[in-house]
Structure 1
Amino acid sequence: MHSTTNPPPLPGARPLLDPAAEYKRWITERPLDRITLWGDLHPWLVTRNEDARAVLSDPRFSSENVRPGFPGLQPTTPPRTPGQLFAMDPPEHTRLRRMLIPEFTFRRVEQLRPAIRRVAGELLDRFVEKGQPADLVEHFTLPLPLLTICELLGVPYSDRDFIHQQASAFATVSAGPEAMRAGWAALFGYLQELLAAKSRAPEDDLMSRLATERVATGEATPAEAAGLAVQLLIAGHETTASMLSLGAVALLRHPDQLTALRADPALVPGAVEELLRYLTVVHIGLRRIATEDVEIGGVTIRAGEGVVIALQAANRDPAVFADPDALDFTRDAGPHLAFGHGLHHCLGQSLARAELQIALPMVFHRLPGLRLAAPAPEEFAFEGRAVHGTRELSVAW
């Protein structure tokens, strides 16, 4: 165990396709130990899969980021705005989350698949027309999930650039708390206006249903509905965009797995689960704070102490995954935690799976000669963001 007077920092940078190297050592040598976030805040770091599940399913660990000692992304406590599910506990969390569940059922997402295929096909058509080399992130992996979530919400196509800019600002931790707040506030204001417009002229989209079925009935305030939509926008495109771009690189770097996938389309669902496990793009960890003393993995975490759950370590836990650093589409990646676990498991995981299952095979089918146009050792990796990914991906075909 490390001394609490000088615990190591949480790794900021990481290789393009793997967790930071420290996690491989920590998961065996110090699976539950202290780290330094900022100042004199030394929360516990959880790296084992079993311990991560225990914390994330235990109601004695709170997600409320306004609690003193919460291991947040910044030293300053963020302002609490309505509808932030990730920072809520039951019963408030339960009440608001229940409003969104009908929008992300398996049946509803299956109905969206034709639209996802259509948008992906149109994007690839335009991508090919631009000629090569071209940036896969700018022209495909970023716009596809953004257009999908905007279509689901009912956000006008013409506003997509504004949405991306503000969501990106909120997700860039290194930009500082003011820039993050400004990004969230801009989206919150925009979606409040959109909600009001949808209440006057509802259409067949999520924002209209929030306006007419939740706000109009008094189940939610306009601010709560707008806050829910902000979270869906941010979570609904940043993570999937990163998974698409890094997934393409992973397939190019593992030609044996790509060949197997091309030969047997039935492998696609399992391949997507394995890529989710292998890449784990949410790399800043999930954050919680103990509301009473809890024993996890033989260690007592005291009330008021923070916890950071390292999903990228838990998803490479050798106690759960044989040869965890290998990309293997034949393995059962079912126990992965890429979408979290417990009350706060990702609400939109079915939508993300659908996008990945459709888009990745489509890219390699349409562009069978796809290759990186420039060497990509780790130059695309960047730190300071809540979601790991690459800003650009120059490819040829």
Structure 2
Amino acid sequence: MAGAPHVHPTTTPPPLPGARPLLDPAAEYGRWITERPLDRITLWGDLHPWLVTRHADARAVLSDPRFSSENIRPGFPGLQPTPPPRTPGQLFAMDPPDHTRLRRMLIPEFTFRRAEQLRPAIRQITGDLLDSLVKQGQPADLVEHFTLPLPLLVICELLGVPYADRDFIHHQASAFATVSAGPEAMRAGWAALFGYLQELLAAKSREPGDDLMSRLATERVATGEATPAEAAGLLVQLLIAGHETTASMLSLGVVALLRHPGQLAALRADEALVPGAVEELLRYLTVVHIGLRRIATEDVEIGGVTIRAGEGVVIALQAANRDPALFAGPDALDLTRDARQHLAFGHGLHHCLGQSLARAELQIALPMLFDRLPDLRLADPAPEELAFEGRAVHGVRELPVTW
């Protein structure tokens, strides 16, 4: 209740679920959203942050400046039991004014207009990958030949990163995203990409091209608006987030559509359904499934509960996106649904900078895939065993298909 005294729970609250089905959130979220929509959970044995599951409460927390993203604050409900070392340019772990200063540098590169300008290039990349997929023959791993290289190619082109280094990039990005590997492996993945991009940034400052990294080097670093380390940190995040999430959305989107043939048939019959269908897939799948993490800097009332200063909050996006108060029959995939209020890209100050680009990739790639391969089917009808384990972004390691 609002204004209740600050007490520690007398019984140990439950942990966050450690696993989830391939296409749905963990079953616990469906119960929590109706039975205990804002309650405590246990992290690392002795940390008891609040879990937010309702859509309205999630939006309230994510838009309230009294909740901080700085993961070095004592009591922050981080992905690991010990706070990570602070690295320059980590937007996801920053508050204003530094967050505002650095994010503002990237906004012109990720506008809706810029994403629309990139659509012809995305179509060309998609078509070339499909040509290569068909040529190499079946069965084929759709992750290896389509859903991973597509967003990685796009983000490499946008940033000015050599696609020839894709294996190194994806390996290090995967290490950083694999929470279960432990903090040292995660830090090593980030550090490897950080060093790699520092070198590229220095080279771009000497010989700039027509790409985002060159513009950062010549227009931001050279003018003193950002340090080289801050710019490299920004680029690491863009490189990781720019392909990991979209690749997983493409893979799981294919599985979801193949398992809902009526929905797929409707999508193929009506091109006008595509933008709304992508929003529904984003809501339904919610691949960023570890919860957004915040800590209160002062007492805040959310959903009738007072969250005290210094208490952590975990926002369960996958629960909020299945909230029956906003989405009727939330566990059903309905491509005709108006799902635009989903929180798959977050909300508020830290909403995903690349959401227009991700939408463009999904809106182009999925229809082109099913148009080119109308008889596409899973070679393994039960790919659940191919799902990532302990990853911050849900998805599959591989996806064998035939056509």
Q: TM-score range by the shorter chain?
A: over 0.9
Number of the residue aligned with 2:48: 42
Identify which of 195, 198, 216 aligns with 1:189: 195
The alignment yields a C-alpha RMSD, in angstroms, of 1.1
User: TM-score scaled to structure 1, two decimals?
Assistant: 0.99
**More deviation, 272-281/117-126:** 117-126
Correspondences of 1:378-389 after superposition (within 5 Å): 378-389=384-395
Number of the residue aligned with 1:260: 266
* Matched letter for residue 161 of structure 1: D
Secondary structure of residue in 2 paired with 1:58: coil
CA distance in 2, matches of 1:71, 1:52: 16
CA distance in 1, matches of 2:383, 2:85: 39
Correspondences of 1:111-190 after superposition (within 5 Å): 111-190=117-196
User: Does the alignment pair 1:23 with 2:22?
Assistant: no
Number of the residue aligned with 2:316: 310
User: TM-score scaled to structure 2, two decimals?
Assistant: 0.97
Number of the residue aligned with 2:371: 365
Deviation at 1:14, TM superposition (A): 0.3
User: Does the alignment pair 1:225 with 2:231?
Assistant: yes
Number of the residue aligned with 1:207: 213
Number of the residue aligned with 1:356: 362
Secondary structure of residue in 2 paired with 1:378: helix
Identity of aligned residues (%): 90
CA distance in 2, matches of 1:210, 1:342: 25
Number of the residue aligned with 1:108: 114
- Deviation by residue 1:14-49 (Cα, 9 ceiling, x = unmatched): 000000000000000000001011120110000000
* Structure 2 unaligned residues grouped into runs of 5+: 2-7
Deviation at 1:383, TM superposition (A): 2.7
Correspondences of 1:30-69 after superposition (within 5 Å): 30-69=36-75
CA distance in 2, matches of 1:375, 1:317: 29
Deviation at 1:378, TM superposition (A): 2.3
Deviation at 1:4, TM superposition (A): 5.0
Number of the residue aligned with 2:94: 88
CA distance in 2, matches of 1:203, 1:390: 35
CA distance in 1, matches of 2:387, 2:49: 26
User: Does the alignment pair 1:335 with 2:344?
Assistant: no
Number of the residue aligned with 1:280: 286
CA distance in 1, matches of 2:389, 2:315: 18
Matched-pair contact (CA < 8 Å) for 1:113–1:354: yes
User: Does the alignment pair 1:73 with 2:79?
Assistant: yes
- 1:274–1:4 CA distance, 2 compared to 1 (3 A): farther
Aligned length: 397
Deviation at 1:377, TM superposition (A): 5.6
**More deviation, 221-230/117-126:** 117-126
Secondary structure of residue in 2 paired with 1:150: helix
Matched-pair contact (CA < 8 Å) for 1:370–1:395: yes
Secondary structure of residue in 2 paired with 1:379: helix
Number of the residue aligned with 1:247: 253
Identify which of 8, 13, 16 aligns with 1:7: 13
- Deviation by residue 1:137-187 (Cα, 9 ceiling, x = unmatched): 111101111111111000012111111111010000011100000000000
Number of the residue aligned with 2:104: 98
CA distance in 2, matches of 1:28, 1:232: 36
Secondary structure of residue in 2 paired with 1:217: coil
Matched-pair contact (CA < 8 Å) for 2:197–2:232: yes
- 1:207–1:293 CA distance, 2 compared to 1 (3 A): same
